[in-house]
Structure 1
Amino acid sequence: MRNLALAFAVFFVWAVQAQVKVTTDDNDLKLSALPYYSYGKGLGLTSPDSIFQLNIRFRMQNRVTYIDTEDERPAYDGQIRRLRLRFDGYVGNPKFLYALQLSFAPGDVGEVKDGENINIIRDAVVIYRPSRRWSFSFGQTKLPGNRQRINSSGGLQLSDRTINNARFTIDRDFGFQLHQLNEFQDKFSWNFKGAVSSGEGRNATDDADDGVAVTGKAEVFPFGAFAKDGTNFEGDIAREQKPKLMFSGAFQQNNLAHRTGGQLGDDLFERRTMKSVLLDAMFKYDGWAAMAAYMSRSTTENPITINPDDPTDFNYVFAGNGFDYQASYNFPSNFEIIGRYSIQHAHERIRLFAPHTKQYTLGFTKYIWEHAFKLQAEVNYDQLSYWDGDVKNNWYFRLQVEIGI
């Protein structure tokens, strides 16, 4: 009996050891096939052999607005202003990158119209970056235009961009881009960016034409690059230790465009060639930040187009120019106060339909987790001056919460 018990004990110990070895080996095999995770700007996954990398991000903006428009009853508006899902990473080699961004909120997608595409796709671009200084891209993404448009809407100090950005920006387009970057932390830096694109805006599938848009941009940093890529977000949440300054200028000629704003807007009855000039300046130091911008659009022909089947029906290119001025201070508690002033002049040929506009904005932001999680409040006053001398005064008060990863 003792021998039988001893034999059983030896067999049990051997079985347990074998099971542990099998389990351990099996787990080792499974673990070796799992991706590596990283956390920073979003959730990252990298394959064990580093053949591909995927980073996932999302963000949403929920807002409520009280609106008081002259000659109309006051109103409340509550909406999900933006809801975005973004994927980026590389395939095969870190030099071959991709970026995808999808939008789902009604304000992003826009009104669905017969015969037109749904604007869910914002970015779908492949990038070849042979070095830190050079990158080549092909696909749909933002053009190298005005600073505020290049910045993500999640990196804004106020809930929306300026009235001039809304009218004169060149936005997203499909085509080729080349960027040559020369940014250094503590010495003179510069960037050059160029693009050749369709000129029709995002998700366009209209009849092909022989007109393209050509865009060029130069950026100069007299005192070196901003900390933490601070050029790409508003306000000095990085609290620059030394004064930092940026000047930039962009020009685009959009040949035979068919929309009122080039890449944006309603369809024109005749195609027009448009020229855009976009100038920016940015300053940051120790919580203080200031921005200034000039934007303009002109056409080589009359900006007004007439429906050939109905002379009473028309549409026009929004030609004109505008200036934006913005300043802020971010307290050590990450509570920020922002002031903005914009003035917009419509071209004399469209003054009958478009007023000159002045806009005054006072905003407050509490950064909980930088721009990724913040609370915003602002009051906005607009003054519209029409061609016949009539003046209208509108204002709104808004609360917004933004959260994302």
Structure 2
Amino acid sequence: MKKFLLLIAFFISMSSFAQDVKFSTKDNDIKLASLPYYNYGRGLGLTSPDSIFQFNIRFRMQNRMTYLQDDEGEEAFEGQIRRLRLRFDGYVGNPKFLYAIQLSFAPGDVGPVQDGENINIIRDAVLFYRPNKHWSVAFGQTKLPGNRQRVNSSGALELTDRSINNARFNIDRDFGWQGFFLNEKKDKFSYNLKTAVSTGNGRNVTKNPDDGFALTGKVELFPLGAFTKDGTNFEGDIVREQKPKLLLSGVFHRNVKARLTQGQLGAELYEKKTMESVFVDAMVKYNGWAFMSAYMNRTSNDPIAVNPDDATQFNYVYVGHGMDYQLSYIFLNKLEVIGRFSNQKVNDDIYMFTPNSKVYTLGLTKYIWEHAFKLQTEVTYDELSYFNGDVKNNWFVRFQIEIGI
């Protein structure tokens, strides 16, 4: 507890030393370090005549249809609203004091409704103090400074979903404090530093308090200068970088006495476990070409959790590692071709319970209004390798429309 309070005091004290500057709000767009949503246009906003407050509203939705075939040849069709979200942001009293709210309504976002549990409508509810363009401190629930693809909005993806490694290893949203020092320059070496102290329990948790916590630290390096129009926050080189741009980033995350199988996500463990995650990302963009690669890893000294009331029942921390490789090119007519390969290996401790995976995806995206209005289609083939030597293959074809403001 003492360390927690000291770290909070550090964030606040560092902010107090930052230079006091005024911010322009004429573009009606709030840029927040932990909320790198892709914006095309300005949404719908209101600013009071005396400029005491600003309120901005955006929405987006993803509608998709999928044809699936499993290893045994069984066919299925699936149609769903994958995401339906409302976002509100602005400031109160002064542009240095900001807020951001994001609500989700699609079944895939909310998740199954369980007796005695919360409905997971709230995704983000966070306050910021931003004394200048370099420093900011956040308090509330939002994304942790994790791996690149997860931190990006799902509306700014080239393919219809993130990789299987993101699904298994990402650290997602949490409640707590975050601190940022941003130092991006157009054509010079730049860097960002991001930290978080959070509960480690994920979003919308109302269960009994405990002594668990999570610590996160992230470094982002821009050897060739910052990307055009915050290009690290969306996939694909839709702005066609005139000079090569490179991002290198690394994250370390430690979740002490976690309750869930994936830290902030997953099923509840029979006993609390401490786990650590490491993420390394690289992104290159130039003249319509974009390449991304990512390494993700989760470890735990004792990943198996046994039911104290029934020794025959158990579950486990999803431990292992994976690599993603993604390459794309966008033509002048805004048609983009994307290829992705993901390889995931679980640790030996849990291999007998869950398979290793390889996933191959080929996609085609047509941008109408950049990422805010686009048509996406993809073919995905996966290979599952089991402990007993069995290998299973599944594939699907998907079409999706994304639209938002």
TM-based fold match above 0.5: yes
Could you tell which deviates more after superposition, 378-387 or 207-216?
Answer: 207-216
2:326 corresponds in structure 1 to 326
Shift of 1:72: 5.5
1:349 corresponds in structure 2 to 349
* CA distance in structure 2 between the partners assigned to 1:53 and 1:230 by the alignment: 26
* CA distance in structure 1 between the partners assigned to 2:354 and 2:115 by the alignment: 27
Describe how 1:6-21 pairs up with structure 2 within 5 A.
none
Contact 1:37 1:46 in 2 (8 A): no
Equivalent residues, number: 369
Shift of 1:311: 2.0
2:184 corresponds in structure 1 to 183
* CA distance in structure 2 between the partners assigned to 1:98 and 1:44 by the alignment: 14
Write out per-residue CA displacement over residues 43-101 of structure 1, whole angstroms, 9 at most, x where no aligned residue.
Answer: 11100000000110000000000000112521000000000000000000000000000
Counterpart AA for 2:342: S
* CA distance in structure 1 between the partners assigned to 2:143 and 2:351 by the alignment: 30
Distance 1:37 1:132, change over 3 A: closer
Shift of 1:312: 2.0
Describe how 1:105-254 pairs up with structure 2 within 5 A.
105-254=106-255
Structure number with the bigger relative contact order (C-alpha 8 A, sep ≥ 6) is 2
Contact 1:246 1:283 in 2 (8 A): yes
Describe how 1:4-403 pairs up with structure 2 within 5 A.
40-71=41-72, 73-300=74-301, 302-403=302-403
Shift of 1:207: 1.5
Distance 1:293 1:130, change over 3 A: same
Write out per-residue CA displacement over residues 153-208 of structure 1, whole angstroms, 9 at most, x where no aligned residue.
Answer: 00000000000000000000000000000000010000000000000000011211
Write out per-residue CA displacement over residues 188-235 of structure 1, whole angstroms, 9 at most, x where no aligned residue.
Answer: 000000000000000011211111100000000000000001100000
Shift of 1:38: 5.9
Which has the larger helix fraction? 1
Shift of 1:41: 2.7
* CA distance in structure 2 between the partners assigned to 1:230 and 1:110 by the alignment: 31
Could you tell which deviates more after superposition, 245-254 or 72-81?
Answer: 72-81
Write out per-residue CA displacement over residues 122-141 of structure 1, whole angstroms, 9 at most, x where no aligned residue.
Answer: 00000000000000000000
Counterpart AA for 1:363: G
Counterpart AA for 1:325: Y
Alignment identity in percent? 67
Shift of 1:329: 0.1
Write out per-residue CA displacement over residues 291-341 of structure 1, whole angstroms, 9 at most, x where no aligned residue.
Answer: 0000000013x2111112222221111000000000000001110000000
SS of the aligned residue for 1:374 comes to strand
Distance 1:257 1:318, change over 3 A: same
Contact 1:177 1:194 in 2 (8 A): yes
Q: Which has the larger radius of gyration?
A: 1
* CA distance in structure 2 between the partners assigned to 1:128 and 1:157 by the alignment: 32
* CA distance in structure 1 between the partners assigned to 2:28 and 2:393 by the alignment: 50
* CA distance in structure 2 between the partners assigned to 1:208 and 1:317 by the alignment: 21
Shift of 1:105: 0.0
SS of the aligned residue for 2:349 comes to helix
* CA distance in structure 2 between the partners assigned to 1:180 and 1:237 by the alignment: 27
Shift of 1:37: 10
Distance 1:37 1:295, change over 3 A: closer
Q: Which runs of 5+ in 1 are unaligned?
A: 1-35
* CA distance in structure 2 between the partners assigned to 1:394 and 1:310 by the alignment: 35
